[in-house]
Structure 1
Amino acid sequence: MNLSRRENLTGRVFLIVLVVVTLLPFVSMLSAALQPRGTVPSGLAWPSDPQWGNFADAFTVANMGALLRSSLLIVAGVVPVSVLIATMAGFGLGQLRVPGGRIVFGLLLLGLTLPFEAVVTPLYYQMQDLGLLNTRWAIILPLIGLYMPFAVFWMRAHFSNVPVELSEAARVDGSSTWQLFWRVQVPLAKPAIASLTILMFLWTWNQFLLAIVLVDDPAKRTMAGALGAFQGQWGTDLVLLCAGSLLILTPTLIVFLIFQRQFIKALIQGSLKG
């Protein structure tokens, strides 16, 4: 009993330390963002007169209204398409056992080892040949392809753990493959689809490298990609830079806090099935 209590206490202390270490950079940025303009923030000193107007100034200076609209358009182009293709491919590889599926899955596993930095130069010239440089399509199309290995791997892991008897029973009832997918498999895959959607959203919203390299106009980048231009123009104003960075991070934090239960539920289900 004493050992169990000691283990629980150790676990709680570890979690508290982990939370403090995780939140410390955000607290530091917040205290810096609330300092008077033109000062050099130092440490975690909370300002005696917090300048909340710095966030409004950063929003205006960085033209974040246009950045927000651009990021939403890019997310809307990447996430639904990626999730739909990955769900269908995962169903085919995990349930239908299509011919050559093992080879395709092996190639997808190789794709998981490919970093974005290794393909950004070929992508630049490919987008140039297609006439898509400096457009949002230069971000949307490559991201869909680059996300596919992980997304298909994620969905295949779910469908592989669904009992085959469910599909056989649906076949006996006269369901076609399309009906089996939409009416039986997709409802069962909602936790996996929801968690994959969250990941795709976070990764797309925070995409920096492709946005910087393939798009020159900051108004057509993601918000994270536009941070580079914001830093270059206002890098000497650390207060404004911290305020802008927090504004860019806020949507991802809100999305994760809202949907964290669905994400954790999918992870737990995957671990139990595995």
Structure 2
Amino acid sequence: MSTAPTLTQPKRSRMTLRRINLPGTILILASMLFSVIPLLSMLSAALQPQGTIPQGLSWPADPQWHNFIDAWNLANITTLLGSSVLIVLGVVPAVMLISTMAAYALVVLKIPLGKLFFLLLLVGLTLPFEVTIVPLYQQLQDMGLLNSRVGLCLALVGLNMPFAVYWMRAHFLTVPEELSEAAGMDGAGPLRAFRLIHVPLAGPALASLGLLTFLSTWNQFLLAIVLVDDPDKRTMAGALQSFVGKYSTDLVLLNAGSVLLMAPTIIVFLILQRHFVKALLQGATKG
């Protein structure tokens, strides 16, 4: 009689876990389908014969893989790829370095007026992106940086800074204060403690911030159109406007070009997604 509860209890626990996990599983599957089906639709449309009108999600009997080569040449992807890489290399490291130092000063060093500074950053985070375009255009025009990658990089660094500081501040809030106190007792100054202790600990947060900044920069469309007149100096997403204008009547080439433009971001995200998840779990399990 006494052994019956012990035999049935694991079964009841497994049944309870299944009931609890079922809604989450359904939600994950729905989110996956919501994300994957549009990509599959674009890929299937890109493999149709040129000049045809793709109908729904259907894999062609004879996939036209050369459509990607034609779209690559017509959209001048080689030049745009190099331009996007230069812009990313100018924006992502700067955002990561400046935001990490700013968050370190706010949380660890507790600089004077730090709360006011952070409040101003939050205000900048809530401003609509479109509101900043005209002031940015005028400022870069006065500085002589219009139609240049340098001006576009400066604008992107500034626009990414509020979120980047907020992201890194959330990380530094989870770091025990005893680490900084121990470093001070060992004779390490703020800069040395930052370089040898806090930056290594911030690896997952920095990797995820770099990923998010890369996605934001690579997919930047509006600023690249407004601030840069030369299509060869824009990001790959910024050049999509000219590609659409030239080849919008050929939906097959348009889809092929769009897949080529999205491919680098998908590849980078798949490579670095574990760092992004690690940063989220690190913040969730602290304390």
TM range (shorter): over 0.9
Give the C-alpha shift of residue 123 in structure 1.
1.2
| Aligned equivalent of 2:28, options 15, 34, 38 | 15
Give the C-alpha shift of residue 9 in structure 1.
2.7
**Aligned pairs (5 A) from 1:32-47:** 32-47=45-60
Match of 1:232 in 2: 245
Match of 1:246 in 2: 259
Give the C-alpha shift of residue 229 in structure 1.
1.0
After the TM superposition, which of the residue ranges 143-152 and 128-137 deviates more from structure 2? Answer: 128-137
Match of 1:55 in 2: 68
Contact 1:94/1:157 (CA < 8 Å) preserved in 2?
no
SS, match of residue 239 in structure 2 = helix
**Aligned pairs (5 A) from 1:133-212:** 133-212=146-225
Give the C-alpha shift of residue 191 in structure 1.
0.8
| Aligned equivalent of 1:26, options 23, 33, 39 | 39
Distance 2:190 2:27 in 1: 49
Query: Letter of the aligned partner of 2:201 in structure 1?
Result: L
Match of 2:4 in 1: none
Query: Letter of the aligned partner of 1:136 in structure 2?
Result: R
Give the C-alpha shift of residue 11 in structure 1.
2.3
Query: Where does structure 1 differ by over 4 angstroms across 4 or more consecutive aligned residues?
Result: none
Query: Letter of the aligned partner of 1:172 in structure 2?
Result: M
Contact 1:71/1:223 (CA < 8 Å) preserved in 2?
yes
Give the C-alpha shift of residue 246 in structure 1.
0.4
Match of 1:124 in 2: 137
Give structure 2 stretches of 5+ with no counterpart: 1-11
* 1:56-89 deviation line (CA, Å, top 9, x unaligned): 1000000000000000000001010110000100
Query: Letter of the aligned partner of 1:194 in structure 2?
Result: A
| Bigger Rg over Cα | 2
Distance 2:98 2:239 in 1: 28
Query: Letter of the aligned partner of 1:67 in structure 2?
Result: L
Distance 2:17 2:284 in 1: 24
SS, match of residue 49 in structure 2 = coil
After the TM superposition, which of the residue ranges 15-24 and 254-263 deviates more from structure 2? Answer: 15-24
Distance 1:41 1:137 in 2: 40
Distance 1:180 1:208 in 2: 39
Give the C-alpha shift of residue 157 in structure 1.
1.2
Match of 2:87 in 1: 74
Give the C-alpha shift of residue 34 in structure 1.
0.2
Query: Letter of the aligned partner of 1:69 in structure 2?
Result: G
Distance 1:29 1:111 in 2: 36
SS, match of residue 224 in structure 2 = helix
* 1:176-213 deviation line (CA, Å, top 9, x unaligned): 11111001111111111111011111100000110011
**Aligned pairs (5 A) from 1:256-271:** 256-271=269-284
Give the C-alpha shift of residue 217 in structure 1.
1.2
Match of 2:112 in 1: 99
Give the C-alpha shift of residue 3 in structure 1.
3.4
Task: Give TM-score, length-normalised by structure 2.
Answer: 0.93
Match of 2:285 in 1: 272
Distance 1:94 1:228 in 2: 42
Give structure 1 stretches of 5+ with no counterpart: none
After the TM superposition, which of the residue ranges 239-248 and 115-124 deviates more from structure 2? Answer: 115-124
| Aligned equivalent of 1:5, options 18, 39, 44 | 18
Superposition CA RMSD, Å: 1.1
Distance 1:32 1:41 in 2: 5
* 1:15-47 deviation line (CA, Å, top 9, x unaligned): 222211211111110110000001011111211
